[in-house]
């Protein structure tokens, strides 16, 4: 694994395994964004029933809640590289077949629901395996830089490039975005399959080990480690707030501010641009405050941004606040992921990482429901203030992370370690 020195910190070299993993992640994000934008438009053309249309999106969340922990346990059991390229190959075939069905005029809401559910169910294994694989490709000191580069590339591909491309692709045919998505999955599978991961000795599982016991080992490690527990609780709480904000942002902008669709587009652009800027400021911020301090600072600034959004009735102010919110959101995401990877025992990365993702996904729909409820009861600006309250709780939950003397919890002697192999 090769690293280079960058401004006093270690960063992964582009040549070798990390460059191919980055390319695969960016390709997949581009394809996912194409499919994510095209699926609702296709659903609207197939039915005018709002519940069915919303169900397509819901099927993109449900598998994480149902299979997230299982995906983490499986990721710790298997060869993570092989699991990732196999999953991408299967997803490429599924989306390719769906594209053929759309081209032939055989698309239906039932088929959309099945596709959304199947792809996300497979994603629970892929994403957990990717989280566990990255520390095997780059040195520990380079994890922060590696996560920054991965998230920045994914944000550019999915947020900045795919969106404008969707209308052009749809003009060429309803099946075209899905065909391109299938192509990105297959290309990513080839890239991941070509990775060279240092061979590690397989550690046999304990006699009588089951997936249920292995999941329990991961949850036990998470619950006993004060710093990891605080980080996980903070992630869950902030995602409730984010869910409340995202679900009601359109009515905040178009209803409370009266800014219309153009204002809503400006708000979304500000968030995307802010996220990219966050990648640039993350390194200096971590150098000055340390990684835990950067997370606390990010949560604190995001809280202030949310209060501004919910109390100042001005579109330019909201756009600026969303830009700052996106900037600090990137700092939060990079450093919480990196801290989790650095603190978690290597053999449990899949299981602990899956707990983080499962809680995050579960928090978003809960926040969306709460946001809709408070907007109905107390006004269209109140979901942003509700989100700010959850961020205050989130920052409070980070207190254990600020104590450097908190020891890393070692798994029980009888815990199932899983294995890491090429």
- For residue 210 the two structure tokens come to 């089951």
| Percent of the chain as helix, strand, coil, to the nearest 5 | 80, 0, 20
**Contact between residue 332 and residue 302 where contact means Cβ atoms under 8 Å apart:** yes
Closest CA to 334 of 277, 394, 406, 389: 277
What's the mean pLDDT in 322-337? Answer: 93
**What is the rounded distance in angstroms from the CA atom of residue 242 to the CA atom of residue 161?**
23
Confidence label for 198 from pLDDT (cuts 50, 70 and 90): low
Q: At 3, which helix (H) or strand (E)?
A: strand 3-6
**Contact between residue 324 and residue 270 where contact means Cβ atoms under 8 Å apart:** no
| Cβ count within 10 A of residue 8 | 7
Closest CA to 211 of 405, 354, 366: 354
Q: At 235, which helix (H) or strand (E)?
A: helix 226-251
Residue 290 has pLDDT above 80, yes or no: yes
pLDDT computed for residue 129 by the predictor: 81
Under 8 Å CB-to-CB from 104, ≥6 apart: which residues? Answer: none
**What is the rounded distance in angstroms from the CA atom of residue 16 to the CA atom of residue 136?**
13
**What is the rounded distance in angstroms from the CA atom of residue 346 to the CA atom of residue 343?**
9
Share of the chain above pLDDT 70, in %: 84
Confidence label for 11 from pLDDT (cuts 50, 70 and 90): low
Under 8 Å CB-to-CB from 413, ≥6 apart: which residues? Answer: none
pLDDT computed for residue 14 by the predictor: 63
CA 43 and chain centroid, separation: 24
**What is the rounded distance in angstroms from the CA atom of residue 400 to the CA atom of residue 264?**
38
Residue 202 has pLDDT above 50, yes or no: no
Report which DSSP code applies to 4.
Answer: E
Dihedral sign for Cα atoms in the order 12, 34, 275, 387: negative
Fold of 210-402: Growth Hormone; Chain: A; (1.20.1250)
pLDDT computed for residue 410 by the predictor: 45
**Contact between residue 29 and residue 154 where contact means Cβ atoms under 8 Å apart:** yes
Q: Where in the chain is the domain with CATH 1.20.1250.20?
A: 1-197, 210-402
Residue 127 has pLDDT above 90, yes or no: no
What's the mean pLDDT in 342-357? Answer: 79
Query: Helix, strand, or coil here: 9?
Result: strand
pLDDT computed for residue 414 by the predictor: 44
Q: To which residue do tokens 């995202």 refer? A: 246
**What is the rounded distance in angstroms from the CA atom of residue 304 to the CA atom of residue 299?**
9
CATH class assigned to 1-197: mainly alpha
Report which DSSP code applies to 415.
Answer: S
What's the mean pLDDT in 213-239? Answer: 83
Length of the chain: 422
> Phi, psi (5° rounding) for residue 70?
-65, -40
- Answer with the residue of higher pLDDT: 406 or 56: 56
Confidence label for 163 from pLDDT (cuts 50, 70 and 90): low
Report which DSSP code applies to 404.
Answer: T
Residue 184 has pLDDT above 60, yes or no: yes
What's the mean pLDDT in 403-410? Answer: 48
- For residue 75 the two structure tokens come to 């990721």
**Contact between residue 368 and residue 293 where contact means Cβ atoms under 8 Å apart:** no
Q: Across 187-325, where does the E strand assignment appear?
A: none
What's the mean pLDDT in 27-40? Answer: 80
pLDDT digits (tens, 9 = 90+) for 46-55: 877 656 665 6
Query: Helix, strand, or coil here: 141?
Result: helix
pLDDT digits (tens, 9 = 90+) for 241-257: 998 888 788 888 888 99
269 vs 148, 272, 323, CA distance in Å? 20, 5, 8
Residue 4 has pLDDT above 60, yes or no: no
The chain-wide mean pLDDT, for the chain, equals 80
235 vs 332, 360, 386, CA distance in Å? 9, 6, 16
Confidence label for 101 from pLDDT (cuts 50, 70 and 90): very high
Rg, C-alpha atoms of the chain: 21
**What is the rounded distance in angstroms from the CA atom of residue 106 to the CA atom of residue 182?**
18
Residue 6 has pLDDT above 50, yes or no: no
**What is the rounded distance in angstroms from the CA atom of residue 165 to the CA atom of residue 330?**
24
Residue 278 has pLDDT above 60, yes or no: yes
- For residue 178 the two structure tokens come to 């899905």
């Amino acid at each position: 694994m090769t690293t280079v020195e960058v401004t006093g910190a270690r960063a992964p070299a582009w040549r070798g395994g990390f460059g191919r993993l980055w390319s695969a992640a960016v390709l997949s994000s581009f394809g996912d964004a194409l499919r994510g934008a095209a699926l609702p438009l296709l659903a609207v053309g197939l039915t005018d029933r709002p519940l069915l249309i919303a169900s397509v999106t819901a099927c993109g969340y449900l598998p994480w809640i149902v299979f997230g922990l299982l995906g983490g346990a499986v990721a710790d059991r298997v060869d993570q590289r092989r699991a990732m390229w196999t999953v991408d190959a299967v997803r490429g075939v599924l989306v390719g077949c769906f594209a053929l069905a759309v081209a032939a005029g055989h698309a239906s809401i039932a088929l959309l629901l099945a596709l959304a559910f199947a792809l996300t169910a497979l994603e629970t294994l892929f994403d957990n395996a990717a989280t566990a694989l990255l520390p095997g490709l780059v040195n520990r000191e380079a994890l922060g830089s590696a996560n920054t580069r991965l998230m920045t590339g994914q944000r550019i591909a999915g947020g900045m490039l795919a969106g404008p491309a969707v209308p052009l692709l749809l003009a060429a045919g309803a099946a075209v975005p899905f065909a391109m998505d299938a192509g990105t999955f297959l290309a990513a599978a080839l890239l991941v399959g070509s990775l060279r991961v240092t061979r590690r000795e397989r550690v046999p599982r304990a006699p009588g080990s089951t997936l249920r016991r292995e999941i329990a080992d991961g949850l036990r490690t998470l619950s006993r480690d004060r710093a990891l527990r605080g980080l996980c609780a903070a992630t869950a709480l902030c995602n409730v707030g984010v869910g409340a904000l995202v679900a009601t942002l359109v009515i905040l902008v178009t209803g409370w501010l009266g800014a219309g669709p153009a204002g809503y587009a400006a708000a979304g652009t500000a968030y995307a641009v802010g996220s990219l800027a966050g990648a640039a400021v993350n390194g200096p911020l971590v150098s000055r405050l340390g990684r835990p301090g950067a997370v606390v600072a990010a949560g604190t600034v995001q809280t202030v941004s949310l209060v501004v959004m919910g109390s100042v009735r001005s579109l330019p102010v909201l756009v600026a606040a969303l830009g700052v919110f996106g900037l600090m959101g990137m700092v939060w995401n990079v450093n919480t992921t990196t801290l989790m990877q650095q603190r978690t025992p290597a053999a449990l990365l899949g299981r602990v990482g899956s707990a983080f993702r499962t809680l995050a996904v579960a928090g978003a729909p809960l926040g969306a429901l709460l946001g809709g409820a408070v907007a109905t009861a107390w006004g269209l600006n109140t979901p942003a203030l509700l989100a700010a309250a959850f961020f205050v709780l989130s920052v409070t939950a980070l207190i254990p992370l600020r104590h450097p003397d908190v020891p890393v919890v070692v798994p029980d002697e009888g815990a199932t370690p899983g294995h890491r192999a090429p």
